[in-house]
């Protein structure tokens, strides 16, 4: 059945049917959320439709990437949740944190069997962790593979403070969001550039500069993967109003660090820079060109479906793109206590248990109620019929009805016997046409009596004259179907109109 045609023909039923289908669908649309010191931004991609909602944060709620005012942040999340519609709807999200307290480090391990990579990666993460490994969430993802020195596997490791991450995930849970994964801004932006941009050259290491209200962030893409990131928070110059000249100085200093990193790793000078800013693009471009004239600066150009989106939404969009990936294929970094697949699986199991429990209980309730109504209905009919029968039996006419019933049964019995007799009778109907034909216009047959057991026939008729009787007898005698045709004038009677009543007997060859 075509659901679209059904919905058009029966709009009300179609509306509820679509709701049931949506409820029972196994796939769940996962949105992306970016958190900065100034705003929470949510994007969800649903069959080509971009759903985006933002909530402005009060100053001091998030400082240097850490949650400082839980109550106000929860209130802001609830406001966002209410804007998403049905408060009972299951909302899952990929959360992208500010890079203040997230650390990354690329490293190599020898080329080993796939099943051993995870063990080797975890061991290396413990060795290179910039914070106490016992207080950190860590994860890794594969970013490349080389054949140098017998083969190496390149991995990117990430580290975040457990307390900081748990503070965020607990508030999201309280606000009605299921957190599927925790990542960070450069990882979200790297995905967006790889999947949805036109002009980023990914054949060689690509440097991207993203400037937000939290500070400038540099990151390098290699082999279509995030390889390196570096962040300078504005909070490090707290207490000073950052003027354009201060901005010029800070950006120039940080750019030099990135250029030195680039040239030392790839023995080449940086020639291209992708610039993403939430505002003042021309002014920032002019500062970079003034200090680094050899660098070609270009903006990120997204595919048509995202081209109208303001850059402040890019991080949330990158996380939302991750939400469209099948959970079994999501092998990217997630900085939380439960793996991406396991977290989503557990939430979906819980969701389906609740849904099917509701469906089963509702169905059983409806079935029991219908059986109750049916029982009441048939009980009323039975009582009504019993009352009618009692009334009929008590009437004087009931004896007459009983007599009629007996006669009907007797009549039906006679019909049954007649049918049985008919089945055993011989075929005699063909003789009637012969008698009628031989009688002609001078003989009027009054009665024909067949004795099928003796194969004889008695014909009683009226003739116009004696000659007509004789002719009728001769005609019968000449037919091979008949024998022993007998007639006597002594048994005839004359009628006043000159006609003659006569009987005639004959045998038939049946």
Give yes or no for residue 192 having a pLDDT over 90: yes
Task: Quick: pLDDT tens for 310-356.
Answer: 999 999 999 999 999 988 888 999 999 865 445 555 555 554 555 55
140 compared with 308, residue with greater pLDDT: 140
**Stretch (H or E) spanning 254:** helix 244-266
Which pTM value belongs to this model?
Answer: 0.64
Give the pLDDT confidence score for residue 7 in this predicted structure: 52
Cβ pair 183, 94 in contact under 8 A: yes
Dihedral, 43, 46, 50, 56 alpha carbons, nearest 10: -30
Total structural domains within the chain: 3
395 compared with 263, residue with greater pLDDT: 263
Give the pLDDT confidence score for residue 347 in this predicted structure: 53
Residues 416 and 304 in one domain: no
pLDDT-based confidence at 395, cuts 50/70/90?
low
Give yes or no for residue 405 having a pLDDT over 50: yes
Pairing of strands 272-277, 225-231: unpaired
Residue 121: CATH number of its domain: 3.30.420.380
Q: Which of 319, 405, 334 is nearest to 41 (CA)?
A: 319
DSSP label at 24? H
Task: Quick: pLDDT tens for 210-230.
Answer: 999 899 999 999 888 999 999
Which of the residue ranges 134-148, 428-442, 487-501 would you say has the lowest mean pLDDT? 428-442
Residue partners of 494: CB distance under 8 A and separation at least 6? 500, 501
Give the pLDDT confidence score for residue 373 in this predicted structure: 78
**Stretch (H or E) spanning 257:** helix 244-266
Cα 179 to chain center, whole Å?
23
pLDDT-based confidence at 362, cuts 50/70/90?
low
Q: Which of 23, 24, 27, 19 is nearest to 323 (CA)?
A: 27
Residue 286 CB neighbour total at 10 angstroms = 13
Mean pLDDT of 85-103: 88
pLDDT-based confidence at 58, cuts 50/70/90?
very high
Give the pLDDT confidence score for residue 20 in this predicted structure: 54
Give the pLDDT confidence score for residue 239 in this predicted structure: 56
Strands of the sheet with 49-56, listed across from one edge: 49-56, 39-46, 30-35, 91-97, 177-184
Which of the residue ranges 261-275, 289-303, 371-385 would you say has the lowest mean pLDDT? 371-385
DSSP label at 29? P
Residues 385 and 444 in one domain: no
Give percent above pLDDT 90 in the chain: 47
Domain boundary among 305, 337, 369: 337
Domain boundary among 365, 399, 423: 423
Cβ pair 311, 299 in contact under 8 A: no
Give yes or no for residue 33 having a pLDDT over 70: yes
Give the pLDDT confidence score for residue 3 in this predicted structure: 45
Residues 64 and 167 in one domain: yes
Mean pLDDT of 81-103: 89
Give yes or no for residue 410 having a pLDDT over 90: no
Give yes or no for residue 2 having a pLDDT over 50: no
DSSP label at 448? E
Give the pLDDT confidence score for residue 156 in this predicted structure: 96
Give yes or no for residue 130 having a pLDDT over 70: yes
Cα 384 from Cα 345, distance rounded (Å): 58
Residues 449 and 399 in one domain: no
Give yes or no for residue 169 having a pLDDT over 90: yes
Residues 108 and 244 in one domain: yes
Cβ pair 94, 31 in contact under 8 A: yes
Give yes or no for residue 272 having a pLDDT over 80: yes
> What are phi and psi for residue 506, nearest 5 degrees?
-160, 160
- Burial of 115 by CB count in 10 Å (0-12 exposed, 13-18 middle, 19+ buried)? exposed
Q: Which of 101, 235, 71, 92 is nearest to 164 (CA)?
A: 101
Cβ pair 321, 168 in contact under 8 A: no
Residue 386's domain comprises 377-423
Task: Give me the chain's average pLDDT, please.
Answer: 84
Residue 62 is assigned to a structural domain of this protein: yes
pLDDT-based confidence at 236, cuts 50/70/90?
confident
Residue 251 CB neighbour total at 10 angstroms = 18
178 compared with 413, residue with greater pLDDT: 178
Cβ pair 485, 502 in contact under 8 A: no
Which of the residue ranges 2-11, 239-248, 405-414 would you say has the lowest mean pLDDT? 2-11
Residue 246 is assigned to a structural domain of this protein: yes
SS3 of residue 102 by DSSP: strand
pLDDT-based confidence at 476, cuts 50/70/90?
confident
Residue 347 is assigned to a structural domain of this protein: no
Residues 418 and 289 in one domain: no
SS3 of residue 230 by DSSP: strand
Residues 254 and 212 in one domain: yes
In this structure, the chain runs to a length of 510
Cβ pair 317, 43 in contact under 8 A: yes
Mean pLDDT of 158-181: 95
Give the pLDDT confidence score for residue 340 in this predicted structure: 45
Cβ pair 234, 243 in contact under 8 A: no
Residues 454 and 477 in one domain: yes
Residues 99 and 228 in one domain: yes
């Amino acid at each position: 059945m075509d659901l679209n045609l059904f919905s058009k023909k029966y709009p009300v039923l179609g509306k509820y049917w679509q709701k049931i289908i949506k409820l029972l669908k196994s796939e769940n649309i996962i949105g992306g959320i970016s958190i900065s010191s100034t705003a929470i931004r949510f994007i969800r991609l649903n069959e080509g439709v971009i759903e985006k909602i933002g909530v402005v944060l009060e100053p001091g709620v998030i400082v240097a990437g850490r949650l400082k005012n839980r109550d106000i942040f929860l209130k802001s999340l609830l406001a966002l949740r209410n804007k998403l519609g049905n408060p009972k709807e299951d909302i899952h999200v990929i959360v992208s944190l500010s890079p203040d307290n997230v650390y990354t480090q690329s490293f190599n391990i020898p080329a080993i069997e796939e099943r051993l990579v995870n063990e080797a990666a975890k061991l290396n993460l413990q060795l290179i962790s910039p914070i106490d490994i016992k207080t950190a969430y860590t994860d890794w993802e594969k970013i490349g593979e080389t054949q140098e020195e017998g083969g190496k596997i390149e991995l990117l490791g990430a580290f975040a403070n457990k307390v900081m991450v748990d503070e965020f995930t607990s508030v999201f849970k309280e606000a009605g969001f299921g957190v599927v994964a925790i990542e960070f801004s450069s990882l979200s932006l790297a995905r967006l550039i790889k999947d949805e941009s036109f002009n980023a050259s990914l054949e060689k290491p690509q440097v991207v500069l993203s400037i937000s209200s939290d500070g400038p962030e540099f990151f390098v893409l290699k082999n279509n993967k995030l390889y390196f990131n570096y962040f300078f928070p504005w909070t490090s110059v707290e207490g000073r109003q950052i003027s354009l000249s201060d901005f010029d100085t800070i950006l120039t200093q940080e750019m030099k660090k990135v250029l030195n990193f680039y040239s030392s790793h790839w023995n080449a000078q940086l020639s291209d820079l992708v610039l993403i800013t939430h505002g003042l693009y021309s002014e920032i471009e002019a500062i970079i060109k003034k200090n680094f004239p050899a660098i070609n600066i270009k903006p990120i150009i997204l595919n048509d479906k995202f081209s109208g989106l303001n850059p402040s939404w890019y991080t949330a969009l990158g996380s939302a793109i991750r939400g469209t990936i099948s959970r079994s294929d999501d092998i990217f970094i997630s900085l939380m206590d439960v793996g991406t697949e396991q977290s989503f699986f557990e939430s979906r199991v819980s969701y389906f248990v609740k849904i099917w429990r509701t469906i089963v209980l509702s169905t059983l309730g409806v079935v029991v109620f219908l059986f109750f109504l049916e029982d009441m209905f048939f009980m009323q009919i039975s009582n009504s019929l019993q009352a009618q029968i009692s009334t009929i039996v008590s009437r004087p006419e009931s004896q007459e009805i009983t007599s009629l019933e007996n006669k009907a049964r007797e009549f039906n019995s006679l019909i049954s016997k007649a049918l049985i007799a008919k089945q055993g009778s011989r075929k005699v109907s063909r003789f009637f046409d012969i008698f009628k034909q031989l009688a002609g216009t001078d003989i009027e047959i009054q009665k024909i009596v067949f004795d099928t057991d003796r194969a004889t026939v008695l014909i009683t008729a009226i003739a116009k004259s004696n000659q007509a009787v004789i002719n009728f007898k001769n005609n019968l005698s000449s037919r091979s179907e008949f024998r022993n045709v007998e007639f006597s004038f002594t048994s005839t009677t004359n009628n006043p109109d000159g006609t003659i009543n006569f009987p005639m007997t004959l045998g038939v060859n049946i």
